[in-house]
Amino acid sequence: MSGNPAHVVAWATLNTQIVGCERCPRLRTHCQSIAAEKRRAFLDWEYWGRPVSNFGDPAAWLLIVGLAPAAHGANRTGRMFTGDRSGEWLYRALHKAGLANQPNSANRDDGLTLRGCAITAVCHCAPPDNKPEPAEILACQPWLNATVDLLPVCVIVALGQIAWKATLELAQARGWQIGDGTSKARPKFGHGVVVKLGDKWLIGSYHPSQQNTFTGRLTESMLDAVFAAAHERHSALRDSAYSSPPT
């Protein structure tokens, strides 16, 4: 884990606050119910059953925004994209991109670490049918705002249309110029779509859910291309900063 000590403490404090959040009674009840009932394959697990905090490097230049914890994935393991098929796809891609030290994620104590990358979500509690209500997304938006404000990110990857919309709403609320600033219409979500957000970049990606990966809508090469594009944008911004004359 990188970052100066004060920044690391601020990152840990934010994550502790997320875990203690009680803003959405419906979601808290659902998470606790799933944790008590369990799935037969995980009867020997002690489910997390609480809001799932951010995960990753407090000095991240790349932020990945997902939708919400899976009921028997992160709601069970307590770590973003850990213990489900979506996580298998995501961490394999991050490992290939040099952003994770290993390609798999089974539990919070498996040694997985991220370098230059962090993962958050639009909703930090597992919702029924994986569909948070608009009011619940709104209630969780301050955590996304705080995460973006704290991390030195220059590239944001939105996994799915809801994450894309939440990120654009954050940018609009911050007064960041979206695109070239000439259009009042919000950029439409699409896989591989790249949009400038002030001094940052937003890249859209299909979510690595089974609905997308089993049907072939999202392939490994498509996901790899998203993180290759993220690296390219990061390198371009870094080179531009190095080549800029001192003021």
The per-residue pLDDT for 3 is: 60
Average pLDDT, the chain: 95
Listed in sequence order, the residues at least 6 apart from 75 whose beta carbon sits closer than 8 Å to its beta carbon are 31, 34, 35, 47, 48, 49, 52, 69, 125, 126
pLDDT at position 166 is 97
CA distances from 38 to 18, 32, 73, 146 (A): 23, 10, 11, 32
Give 40's DSSP letter: G
For the ranges 67-71, 75-79, 179-183, 208-212, the lowest mean pLDDT is seen at: 179-183
CB atoms within 10 A of CB 22: 10
> Can you give the residue range of the structural domain that contains 79?
5-243
pLDDT, residue 238, reads: 82
Which two tokens mark 240?
A: 């531009």
Token pair for 24:
């959405």
CA 43 → CA 31, 34, 176, 195, 209, distances in Å?
Answer: 16, 11, 47, 44, 24
Count of domains in the chain? Answer: 1
Residue 48 pLDDT: 98
20-38 pLDDT, tens digit each? 999 999 999 999 999 999 9
pLDDT at 100 over 70: yes
The residues near 216 (Cβ < 8 Å, ≥ 6 apart) are none
Q: What is the DSSP string of 179-231?
A: TTS---SPPPP-TT-EEEETTEEEEEE----HHHHTTTSS-HHHHHHHHHHHH
Residue 171 has pLDDT above 60, yes or no: yes
pLDDT at 246 over 80: no
Res 243: pLDDT: 62
**For 222-240, what is the mean pLDDT?**
93
pTM for this predicted structure:
0.95
